[in-house]
């Protein structure tokens, strides 16, 4: 499969209902919800990337490591990393939590290892550990997610004019909007956009049933 950089536009924005017309969000592929691991190459990549760190001693954890390397290579080829600053969305666990997953940080560090022009910083972290949003019956709204975030002290001048909020997948857009809200307070004069490995889509029959 060939991954290519695409922007969420007027035709697809409604599928990520927290996004607004002024938001700019880029993605490399489409993840089909409820399609399972074998549905597509993108599904396999996302499934492997999201393997829990509690599986670290199991043989299949090697596929998470491979996915991290694959994504880093994709990013390096897809975008001029020297023109932006990346800020990863923090996982649902605090950095001191045994289940803290640093996959996004590791991806960005690999991108930087390949190209020193890459600039990234984990400016935002989780103040308390919570259940992952997609695993809860009542998903948190952007303002509820933002309330769980803490922001590190940074020098805005060290960041480029375009800041990309980086996450593996965009579903409703709630995490992106929460990040955007917190980052606008720190970087009022910079563009806060989104960069995702994949966006969530639904199978055709599910689209038909939702009309």
In this prediction, residues 44-55 reach a mean pLDDT of 96
- Whether residue 1 is contained in a domain is answered as no
- Whether residue 160 is contained in a domain is answered as yes
Q: What is the DSSP letter of 195?
A: E
Q: How do strand 191-201 and strand 25-32 relate by DSSP bridges? A: parallel
Q: How do strand 162-170 and strand 149-151 relate by DSSP bridges? A: unpaired
Q: How far apart are CA 1 and CA 39, in angstroms?
A: 13
Q: Which domain holds residue 38?
A: 6-210
Least confident of 2-11, 69-78, 85-94, 148-157: 2-11
Give the pLDDT band of residue 132 (cuts 50, 70, 90): confident
Cβ contact 88:166 at 8 Å: yes
Express each pLDDT in 100-120 by its tens digit: 999 999 999 999 999 999 999
The tally of domains found in the chain comes to 1
- Whether residue 181 is contained in a domain is answered as yes
- Whether residue 189 is contained in a domain is answered as yes
- Burial (CB < 10 A; 0-12, 13-18, 19+), residue 133, is middle
In this prediction, residues 69-85 reach a mean pLDDT of 97
Indicate whether 207 pLDDT > 90: no
Express each pLDDT in 175-198 by its tens digit: 999 999 999 999 999 999 999 999
Indicate whether 9 pLDDT > 60: yes
159: CATH: 3.40.50
Indicate whether 210 pLDDT > 50: no
């Amino acid at each position: 499969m060939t991954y290519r950089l695409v922007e969420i536009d007027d035709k697809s924005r409604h599928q990520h209902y927290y996004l607004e017309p002024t938001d700019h969000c880029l993605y490399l592929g489409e993840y089909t919800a409820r399609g399972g691991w074998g549905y597509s190459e993108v599904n396999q990549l996302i499934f492997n990337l999201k393997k829990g760190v509690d599986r670290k001693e199991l043989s299949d954890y090697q596929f998470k490591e491979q996915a991290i390397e694959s994504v880093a290579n994709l990013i390096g080829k897809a975008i001029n990393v020297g023109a932006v600053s990346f800020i990863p969305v923090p996982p649902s666990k605090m950095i001191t939590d045994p289940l803290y997953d640093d996959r996004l940080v590791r991806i960005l560090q690999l991108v930087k290892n390949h190209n020193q022009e890459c600039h990234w910083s984990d400016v935002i972290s989780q103040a308390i550990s919570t259940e992952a949003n997609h695993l809860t019956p009542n998903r948190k709204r952007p303002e509820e997610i933002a309330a769980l975030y803490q922001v590190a002290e940074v020098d805005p001048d060290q960041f480029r004019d375009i800041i990309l909020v980086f996450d593996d997948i965009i579903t409703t857009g709630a995490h992106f909007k929460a990040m955007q809200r917190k980052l606008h307070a720190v970087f009022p004069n910079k563009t806060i956009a989104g960069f995702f490995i994949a966006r969530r889509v639904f199978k055709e029959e599910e689209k038909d049933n939702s009309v």
